[in-house]
Amino acid sequence: MNIFNELESQVQCYARSFPVVFERATGSTIVDAEGNEYLDFLAGAGSLNYGHNNPVMKAALIDYIKEDGITHSLDLHTKQKEKFLTAFNDYILKPRKLNYRVQFTGPTGTNAVEAALKIARKVTGRQNVIAFTNGFHGVSLGALALTGNQHHRGAAGVPLENVIRMPFAGYYGKETNTIQQIEKLFADQSSGIELPAAIILETVQGEGGLNVASVEWLKAVEALCRKYKVLLIVDDIQAGCGRTGTFFSFEPAGIKPDIVTLSKSLSGYGLPLAVTLIKPDYDQWEPGEHNGTFRGNNHAFLTAEVAIRHYWKDDSFAEEIQRKSSLISQQLKRILLEKGAPFMKVCGRGLMQGIDCRKGDLASLITESAFKRGLMIETGGSEGQVVKCLCPLTITDEEIKKALKILAESIEVSLQIHLKKVS
Amino acid sequence: MNIFNELESQVQCYARSFPVVFERATGSTIVDAEGNEYLDFLAGAGSLNYGHNNPVMKAALIDYIKEDGITHSLDLHTKQKEKFLTAFNDYILKPRKLNYRVQFTGPTGTNAVEAALKIARKVTGRQNVIAFTNGFHGVSLGALALTGNQHHRGAAGVPLENVIRMPFAGYYGKETNTIQQIEKLFADQSSGIELPAAIILETVQGEGGLNVASVEWLKAVEALCRKYKVLLIVDDIQAGCGRTGTFFSFEPAGIKPDIVTLSKSLSGYGLPLAVTLIKPDYDQWEPGEHNGTFRGNNHAFLTAEVAIRHYWKDDSFAEEIQRKSSLISQQLKRILLEKGAPFMKVCGRGLMQGIDCRKGDLASLITESAFKRGLMIETGGSEGQVVKCLCPLTITDEEIKKALKILAESIEVSLQIHLKKVS
Amino acid sequence: MNIFNELESQVQCYARSFPVVFERATGSTIVDAEGNEYLDFLAGAGSLNYGHNNPVMKAALIDYIKEDGITHSLDLHTKQKEKFLTAFNDYILKPRKLNYRVQFTGPTGTNAVEAALKIARKVTGRQNVIAFTNGFHGVSLGALALTGNQHHRGAAGVPLENVIRMPFAGYYGKETNTIQQIEKLFADQSSGIELPAAIILETVQGEGGLNVASVEWLKAVEALCRKYKVLLIVDDIQAGCGRTGTFFSFEPAGIKPDIVTLSKSLSGYGLPLAVTLIKPDYDQWEPGEHNGTFRGNNHAFLTAEVAIRHYWKDDSFAEEIQRKSSLISQQLKRILLEKGAPFMKVCGRGLMQGIDCRKGDLASLITESAFKRGLMIETGGSEGQVVKCLCPLTITDEEIKKALKILAESIEVSLQIHLKKVS
Amino acid sequence: MNIFNELESQVQCYARSFPVVFERATGSTIVDAEGNEYLDFLAGAGSLNYGHNNPVMKAALIDYIKEDGITHSLDLHTKQKEKFLTAFNDYILKPRKLNYRVQFTGPTGTNAVEAALKIARKVTGRQNVIAFTNGFHGVSLGALALTGNQHHRGAAGVPLENVIRMPFAGYYGKETNTIQQIEKLFADQSSGIELPAAIILETVQGEGGLNVASVEWLKAVEALCRKYKVLLIVDDIQAGCGRTGTFFSFEPAGIKPDIVTLSKSLSGYGLPLAVTLIKPDYDQWEPGEHNGTFRGNNHAFLTAEVAIRHYWKDDSFAEEIQRKSSLISQQLKRILLEKGAPFMKVCGRGLMQGIDCRKGDLASLITESAFKRGLMIETGGSEGQVVKCLCPLTITDEEIKKALKILAESIEVSLQIHLKKVS
């Protein structure tokens, strides 16, 4: 029995889908201990937007370590944090006319969400927060209450409170104006729905199945928040950092959330880092009210700084993502036309696209088949029915081509098996 | 205005006590941007047990990065995780006859605690957990409900539920047998206290003010848990990894908790890492029930493995810690005799000792004074009344001597100011 | 200062709308201490369906007291409880082919609702209950969580938990199929809405503003409950006991709820009484699990028995209510046509009809004006915008005529004042 | 099968202990349908302090009904409510120098407690309330959270929140100063126990097993409340209305609670009535915030007024209760000496005394045996180990003598059976 079976908890999950031992990785390629190479369309669940061991950051990181730069600093001021903040301000916030205070939370997305919840509740004096169907915001208790997935919710062991669930964009079909419905509840003193502290949303639901909120819906949510003085939190942990084609996923909608959470690809190198961005008026924390040991991960500050300076100094990287997004979108549609079934649909936005197979077992067949062929790719959605293409944003056209070829073959063989089973 | 004031959230805390910008660090010494050196008796709030940028780990880390070892791996199997698990099993678990499954949680202590709560509730089907006065277990919602500190609790913005608060060892004085009191509540069908899923405790309360649980008390808690089939969780995040003189802080008591949380110094290098250890019978997770993006921080796996192989291959390191603990204990007592006031007392255990000043403002005077003299040291306790000596375990006798000299001077001058104010 | 101002809590409410001291009452007429008579269209908020001091019950009650019949009996068996149960079985349950166990709860509607919640949660093992917008179910903590009104909810002082709020019949307009929306949430494993223990509803929302659930909607709710094994609770405290034209308000819809709560007019004489009816399979109480001192109010058992035997031995009383309902419906429409404004509408069902004035201040003007003219009548709805005609079911045609004449005049003068204010 | 088995819910409890059908009752005697007489030492669980169908109230009640006095009045002003308030003010409040506003809640004890909780939370802006081990305060959700009994708590089906459980007077033995313990928790900013809105207590725990709070303990609780601005609520539902020898049970302690709940024997005739007494400063209700249909039970106002005027116009009734209390106390001690086992003890205070049998099955044997001999008497305590003598306060010395003779015989025979079983 290997050490993983012997010693590691059975909670492991991805390891079951990709049952090999990985050893090295660069760019879009990950290599197992036996030397087999895989194109990585999982990309650390969206944490490796710049690929594995990106050479620009790698060199800087080695230098930093060699020179005994501070590694761990709690919330102390460090030279490296100063550099990160400066780069973040100069290249991310200022050009977008966004004015936020940066809170370094514990270096996990769920912790950034917990901080967002606390400050929203503190600032408004209200307890409930509106979250949406199929949303995913983490699994620590506060964030878990926001998360829709029953598999995760069921593990809480206690009731998940202080959250009001509302339908995500398009959940009841295009013809139903769900924002109008929420407004009716807000306006009615006897609806039984008190005004919430905040509304939290993902512009593209990653774990929920690549559901895309339209620009109109996002604008309507923002308008509702402004009218009722409810804070708007955008959880941009998976969709942010360029994944959908702009640094923040909400840029195309022209909205300005009150609070934004970032993590996953923020450090650029896969190192743990998370921040909660808060409009200055709402930065009403008392010193140390929300704390945590690993808020000062300077290796991550460094790689994050380098990533920002290198990739976000001008628009070229964003444009490149958008070009690749179109490419993948077209290719996926073509593949479905050629190999897919009529019920399968392309879904998502930017480099957060995929194929909605409608059936979880079909999607699983496809990803298993792809892995055997050298493509690591995962499923999402409430029944695992969506095959998600989360490639590094730095992927080459060659690699895209190669990966989609594997995907096309996998769809073809999987559909045959699936249709045989069904009939 | 500097970038920290302009851009960073006002939640920052340590940065207010030590208002300089740090740049480099090695061993027990941290250096600011202007070249000033400080002896570090804060040690990343107990996360730098092996000192800053420990050279053994540093070399290995640089090599690993150079060779494009996997950096970020979710919960996938990697070569480096395999090495860590093997080392942890061979040098930590087996020699102590401990049989645990290792769950890699999100890389923060609070996340390890959240996982511990969930599995305890799942396994027992009960909701409440007993936590103790002055306990600190993190600030995400589930962990925060366990934490006693009102400053942190007040930030929740929602009620903190499903926790029963009980007095920590000695809280009501030595003559009161608080475990007997708890047992009476458990045995009485009409007490209003239902049997909890678990009892969670720190053997030495770090944030709570270096309160030490006696061996007898720990044994009594374990016996109570066994009798009523309640799980025993030891949160060893601050007191573990050698801080009190043995790898696990509960070793001297001879107890075997059902669940143990580790983080802070586990990675050895200050890199984010956390695990929840679970007795095999209770490892009843379904795949992915508790997840998180940064559970596969391979840089931390590497430095953790090196730390274990280097420092815990035999008893010598533990013995060395114990020797230094005695040294510090004697020195602190001597200092108090010579410079202190009668109401000041040495408290704590191992290299987790300090001085209970009884007054928060006196303790603050001392730490401010020390910092000016080149010693970074912080306070703890419900009113910040305890000056905490959390030096690296690798500190030299010379450094201890130097630091305690500064501490003695700081006590002397601070007491003078304090007594003037009071009179 | 009178004793009410001096000694009674300022929580009093109806006393503010009708600021006189009442002394005697019979049938539909209530008389104040100065001898002024009022037609009673409040009828104890629907608790006096058979009028004040109904002579049939009155005689029986005096006899019972004279003969030292048991007054108070906890949940002991008494001769009088036996008689009530027999009459309830013979004249109410059996003819309607309803099979329920009768639980005598504390003699208030809110207590019957608390019992219904408990048994639904116990039987299903689930915690949440679905309640509807504008619903009113009482103000003890469990029932209050179901109630929609913010004025009442705000008094809780603690979060109101374990309730999911859904739109009542027609809340989002006729075109929106809200039951289909709920079903989508139930079917989706990632919606964030777990299956509830029960759905609780009023067929006509009394306090909520005389909102009527259609037969189709009620059938659809029942079908949804059956499909997902969710219990259906009808809170028939205000709409039951004949108020809408049949003993149970849900009879026209042909549904069979799993649990029904009754109170208000159940005792027939205004004496406190409440029951929770439970399908035999769900009567899974352990002895005494839900208790209360005044569950054995034998005076109320007696008057309830007499009311049932006298009014419900055949269909004539129900037919008479329906005839009066049509009469009132026609008259109200005529009045609005002659005296009302275009925005005013007749609403409600059976003898639970009223006028939706759209504006709370207009409705208040009308009821104040009516009281001065000898008609006691109250408002309801989220903004008090509905004037509610809750006359005794035993009212004579003469009395209806007289009351509606007053109402017509009151509307006329109030509208003049209202329109002046607005313009 | 009789109608009770066929139709009534299995939740019935007392009916199982006393399986006959009762028909008539006067004074301390209750008669079943077959003409068998029983001395009533249950007295409606303390709701019949003036005996069954007390002739003074009976005559007044018949007259009132005959004259068509208002029966049901919501919270409207009525002549009869005026009379009750005047009598309550003149004979109860003023002579005791107590200044309270009277809130008429729904006519059950649990509803009075719910109101007390709400106003305490509203006034203080805090959520938690301290309740004690073995306390009983009702079973609607808010009150149930205060109740200690696991049998009742388990029926909630949801977590019982916002209550902190503390040990009742003497719970940890006489030597443990539990009030000092609570104060330490209040004073410690890191104890994890926030200041509560209120402390609620019974001076003698009825359902909890006749546990008596000492005068010293009550004074200490009041002092603690004053010091920390926590409201003191005395739940005097069972122990009040003369049961312990004074109208309010807390009179001997000389304390002045901020809020008092009364119900059970308040109406004097077993009719449903409950009030919450609130110090004028804390009567901060908005109109109708806490409401309920049966707050205007005028029959109960009438009998309550008569009871007060007749029994509490001077000290003679109180003195008579105290004389009988001493008598029963002496007799019970004598019986135990002659017939009891060494482990059995007399417990309680006033006419709320009983025998602690230490074993629930022994206590049950005694009450079963007594019922066969013509004495209706029940058990209490967390394991039903206490035989409770709750006779009417109007009982004659002859009746006491007769009842205690039966009790003595029952103890004798039950002990024989019990000891045989044990050996």
Enumerate neighbours of B (3 or more CB pairs within 8 A).
Answer: A, C, D
* Chain D residues closer than 8 Å to A157 by CB: none
E strand or H helix that includes residue A59: helix A55-66
* Chain D residues closer than 8 Å to B192 by CB: 131-135, 147-149, 153, 163, 165
Query: b/e for B283-310, b at 16 or more Cβ within 10 A?
Result: bebeebbbbbbbbbbbbbbbbbbbbbbb
Cα(D208)–Cα(D148) distance, integer angstroms: 8
* Chain B residues closer than 8 Å to D186 by CB: none
B39 and B376 Cβ atoms separated by less than 8 Å: yes
B270 and A72 Cβ atoms separated by less than 8 Å: yes
Cα diameter, chain D: 65
Q: Which residue of chain C has the CA closest to B157?
A: C159
Check whether A1 has a pLDDT greater than 70: no
Cα(A384)–Cα(A372) distance, integer angstroms: 19
Cα(A264)–Cα(A252) distance, integer angstroms: 21
Kindly state whether residues D212 and D158 are assigned to the same domain.
Answer: yes
Q: What is the pLDDT of residue A194?
A: 95
Kindly state whether residues B46 and B98 are assigned to the same domain.
Answer: no
* Chain A residues closer than 8 Å to B121 by CB: 156-158
Cα(C338)–Cα(A339) distance, integer angstroms: 70
Q: Which residue of chain D has the CA closest to B183?
A: D172
Check whether C1 has a pLDDT greater than 90: no
Partners of residue D131 on adjacent β-strands: D165
Kindly state whether residues B198 and B212 are assigned to the same domain.
Answer: yes
Query: CB burial class (10 A; 0-12, 13-18, 19+) of residue A407?
Result: buried
Q: What is the pLDDT of residue C378?
A: 97
Cβ A189–C381 below 8 Å, yes or no? no
Structure token digits, residue A247? 């640094």
Q: Of C262, C118, C102, C298, nearest to D12 (Cα)? A: C102
| Tally of CA atoms within 13 A in the half-sphere of D3 that contains its CB | 17
Q: Which of C191, C201, C228 best tests the A interface by mutation, with the highest count of A CBs <10 A? A: C191
Kindly state whether residues D44 and D71 are assigned to the same domain.
Answer: no
Cβ C290–D16 below 8 Å, yes or no? no
Q: What is the pLDDT of residue B421?
A: 87
Mean residue pLDDT across chain A: 97
Query: b/e for B219-245, b at 16 or more Cβ within 10 A?
Result: ebbbebbeeeebbbbbbbbbbbbbbbb
Cα distances from C128 to residues A332, B379, C105, C121, D208, in angstroms, run 42, 45, 22, 8, 31
pLDDT band with cut points at 50, 70 and 90 for residue A422: confident
pLDDT band with cut points at 50, 70 and 90 for residue A120: very high
Listing DSSP states for A352-369 in one string gives EEEEE-S-HHHHHHHHHH
Q: Nearest Cβ partner of C157 from D68, D121, D283? A: D121
Check whether B1 has a pLDDT greater than 80: no
B235 CB-near residues (< 8 Å, 6+ apart): B109, B113, B116, B135, B137, B200, B201, B202, B261
A153-181 pLDDT, tens digit each: 999 999 999 999 999 999 999 999 999 99
Cα(A197)–Cα(D231) distance, integer angstroms: 30
* Chain A residues closer than 8 Å to B52 by CB: 68, 70-72
C244-281 pLDDT, tens digit each: 999 999 999 999 999 999 999 999 999 999 999 999 99
Q: What is the pLDDT of residue C279?
A: 98
Kindly state whether residues B146 and B180 are assigned to the same domain.
Answer: yes
Query: Of the candidates B278, B311, B344, which is a domain's last residue?
Result: B311
Domain that holds residue C397: 2-52+316-422
φ and ψ at residue C258, rounded to 5 degrees: -80, -30
Q: What is the pLDDT of residue C272?
A: 98
- Tell whether A62 is within 8 A of chain B (Cβ): yes
Q: Nearest Cβ partner of C133 from A127, A153, A192? A: A192
Q: Record the pTM.
A: 0.97
Kindly state whether residues A18 and A144 are assigned to the same domain.
Answer: no
- Tell whether A293 is within 8 A of chain B (Cβ): yes
B101 and A40 Cβ atoms separated by less than 8 Å: no
pLDDT in tens, chain D (423 residues): 599 999 999 999 999 999 999 999 999 999 999 999 999 999 999 999 999 999 999 999 999 999 999 999 999 999 999 999 999 999 999 999 999 999 999 999 999 999 999 999 999 999 999 999 999 999 999 999 999 999 999 999 999 999 999 999 999 999 999 999 999 999 999 999 999 999 999 999 999 999 999 999 999 999 999 999 999 999 999 999 999 999 999 999 999 999 999 999 999 999 999 999 999 999 999 999 999 999 999 999 999 999 999 999 999 999 999 999 999 999 999 999 999 999 999 999 999 999 999 999 999 999 999 999 999 999 999 999 999 999 999 999 999 999 999 999 999 999 999 989 887
Q: Which residue of chain C has the CA closest to D269?
A: C71
Structure token digits, residue D178? 């539990």
Q: What is the CA radius of gyration of chain A?
A: 21
* Chain D residues closer than 8 Å to C101 by CB: 7-10
Mean residue pLDDT across chain C: 97
* Chain C residues closer than 8 Å to D163 by CB: none
Cβ D158–A159 below 8 Å, yes or no? yes
Cα(D91)–Cα(D308) distance, integer angstroms: 7
Q: What is the pLDDT of residue A421?
A: 87
Residues 105-164 of D with CB under 8 A from B: 127, 131-135, 147-151, 153, 159, 161-164
- Tell whether C248 is within 8 A of chain D (Cβ): no
Q: What is the pLDDT of residue B423?
A: 78
Q: Nearest Cβ partner of C191 from A148, A164, A192? A: A148
C298 and C41 Cβ atoms separated by less than 8 Å: no
A29-42 pLDDT, tens digit each: 999 999 999 999 99
Kindly state whether residues B273 and B225 are assigned to the same domain.
Answer: yes
Listing DSSP states for C251-281 in one string gives GGGT---SEEEE-GGGSSSS----EEEE-GG
The residue type of A246 is: T
Q: Which CATH number goes with the domain that contains B373?
A: 3.90.1150.10
Residues 299-338 of C with CB under 8 A from D: 299
Kindly state whether residues B292 and B357 are assigned to the same domain.
Answer: no
Cβ A117–B157 below 8 Å, yes or no? yes
Q: Which residue of chain C has the CA closest to D157?
A: C121
Q: Report strand pairing: D378-380 vs D386-389.
A: antiparallel
Cα(A314)–Cα(D179) distance, integer angstroms: 67
Check whether A43 has a pLDDT greater than 90: yes
- Chain centroid, CA D172 distance in Å: 24
Work out how many CB contacts closer than 8 A connect A with B.
367
* Chain B residues closer than 8 Å to D161 by CB: 159, 161
The answer to whether the Cα torsion of C188, C193, C194, C195 is positive or negative is: negative
Kindly state whether residues D361 and D380 are assigned to the same domain.
Answer: yes
Q: Which residue of chain C has the CA closest to B158?
A: C159
The minimum CA-CA distance between B319 and chain C, rounded to whole Å, is 53
A183-239 pLDDT, tens digit each: 999 999 999 999 999 999 999 999 999 999 999 999 999 999 999 999 999 999 999
Domains contained in chain B, number: 2
Residue C101 falls in which region: left (phi positive, over 0), alpha (psi -120 to 50) or beta:
beta
Average of per-residue pLDDT across C318-342 = 97
pLDDT band with cut points at 50, 70 and 90 for residue C421: confident
Kindly state whether residues B48 and B100 are assigned to the same domain.
Answer: no
Cα(C103)–Cα(C85) distance, integer angstroms: 11
Q: What is the pLDDT of residue D343?
A: 95
Strands (E), C94-192: 101-104, 129-132, 163-166
Query: What is the ipTM metric for this complex?
Result: 0.98
Q: Which CATH number goes with the domain that contains D195?
A: 3.40.640.10
Cα(A256)–Cα(A76) distance, integer angstroms: 29
Kindly state whether residues B199 and B239 are assigned to the same domain.
Answer: yes
Q: Which residue of chain C has the CA closest to D29?
A: C70
- Tell whether D257 is within 8 A of chain B (Cβ): no
Cα distances from D163 to residues B159, B164, D127, D196, in angstroms, run 11, 10, 8, 9
Cα dihedral value A139, A143, A148, A152, nearest 10? 20
* Beta-carbon count within 10 A of A178 CB: 22
Query: Of the candidates B311, B327, B357, which is a domain's last residue?
Result: B311
Q: What is the CA radius of gyration of chain C?
A: 21
A140 CB-near residues (< 8 Å, 6+ apart): A110, A111, A114, B106, B110, B111, B114, B140, B141, B142, B143
Query: Of the candidates D283, D311, D339, which is a domain's last residue?
Result: D311
Cα(D43)–Cα(D403) distance, integer angstroms: 13
Cα(C283)–Cα(A238) distance, integer angstroms: 49
Cα distances from A359 to residues A212, A328, B146, C261, in angstroms, run 19, 22, 41, 43
Q: Which residue of chain A has the CA closest to B29?
A: A70
Q: What is the CA radius of gyration of chain B?
A: 21
Cα(B164)–Cα(D128) distance, integer angstroms: 13
Kindly state whether residues B77 and B147 are assigned to the same domain.
Answer: yes
Cα distances from D292 to residues B331, C272, C381, D74, in angstroms, run 70, 11, 17, 8
B22 and B31 Cβ atoms separated by less than 8 Å: yes
Cβ D172–B181 below 8 Å, yes or no? yes
- The DSSP 8-state label assigned to residue A34 in this structure reads T
B138 and B110 Cβ atoms separated by less than 8 Å: yes
Cα diameter, chain C: 65
